[in-house]
Amino acid sequence: MDYDFARQYMNPKRTGNAIRDLNPMSKVNLMLVLGLSPFIVQNYFYGFGMVLLFILLSAAAGCFRSFFSLYWKVLLLFGVFLFVVKAAFAPGEHVLFRLWGICVTTESIQSGLNIVALVLAFSGAFILFVKTTPMDEFTYALEKKGVSHMVSFVILSSFQTITDLKQNAQVIMESQKARGIETEGNLLKRAKAYIPVMGPLVLNAISSTEEKSIAMDARAFSAPVAHTFLSELPEVAIKEKVIVILFDLAFVGLIAGRIALWLI
């Protein structure tokens, strides 16, 4: 009998990448510190520096393409919109130009750059965490910290549902295209093609929820006993703990420095 297949589940899961192999709770801690620190510093140079750092970390983690394919959409949808609104309507004294009653000032542009840096920094931290951390490992780490298995399942199911809906939508769109329905073109044509997709997509989501509940009952998910797990996470190394503590101390120092500046 080949025991190699069974033995791989007895050893802790490792990918060989230093960033991906960090404990999920360590990654949550680090990403929160890095993502929230621009809100404390309140300097758009620092915020955009964090954005560049997340891009470099995604490349180091081997997920640059998937990370940036989502990140640039956040930049386009939220970053540009927030910058335009802030630059056009935020108050200021040093007027750069006026157009149709809209007054753009130096202060409004700085305010726009600041809020864009904050949004992009926090979004980058969240997206990088999602791209480098399988949700089953994250929920497992939560359960080891004492979180209820019901809560961890809700978190895992929520993320999995998003992925399932995306895949089902692509399958249905391909089916529509195979039937000769126009699914490409301008925005109006795409909207018309997407409306018939909503019905099968919702029905599939409902049936998938029912199938998951039956599978959970078959596996005694709600049984009042200790749960077992198919794989184990690596133990948190001392070096990793030290790095997390240092980042936490630096974050506390930033908060203390900001409070001191407010009091002066």
pLDDT by residue (tens digit) across 86-125?
Answer: 766 666 666 666 666 677 677 777 887 888 888 888 888 8
**CB proximity list for 154: less than 8 A, separation 6 or greater:** none
Instruction: Calculate mean pLDDT across residues 50-74.
Output: 87
Higher pLDDT, 220 or 73: 73
In 3D, which of 165, 167, 150 has the Cα closest to residue 209?
165
Query: Has residue 4 got a pLDDT over 70?
Result: no
Query: Has residue 164 got a pLDDT over 80?
Result: no
pLDDT of the residue at 223: 64
Query: Has residue 2 got a pLDDT over 60?
Result: no
Q: Using a pLDDT cut of 90, give the percent of the chain over it.
A: 4
pLDDT of the residue at 246: 92
Which tokens go with 227?
């749960």
Local structure of residue 78 (DSSP, 8 states): I
Question: Which residue in this structure is represented by tokens 């997407």?
Answer: 194
Query: Has residue 85 got a pLDDT over 80?
Result: no
CA atoms of 27 and 61, how far apart (whole Å): 12
CA atoms of 198 and 205, how far apart (whole Å): 10
Higher pLDDT, 106 or 34: 34
Instruction: Calculate mean pLDDT across residues 6-26.
Output: 74
Out of 18-27, 81-90, 151-160, 243-252, give the one with best mean pLDDT.
Answer: 243-252
Contact predicate 55/126, CB 8 Å: no
pTM, two decimal places: 0.74
Contact predicate 36/122, CB 8 Å: yes
HSE value, Cβ hemisphere, 13 Å, CA-based, for 161 = 17
CA atoms of 107 and 111, how far apart (whole Å): 6
Per-position b or e across 50-85, b if 16+ CB within 10 A of its CB: bbeebbebbeebbbbeebbeebeebbeeebeebbee
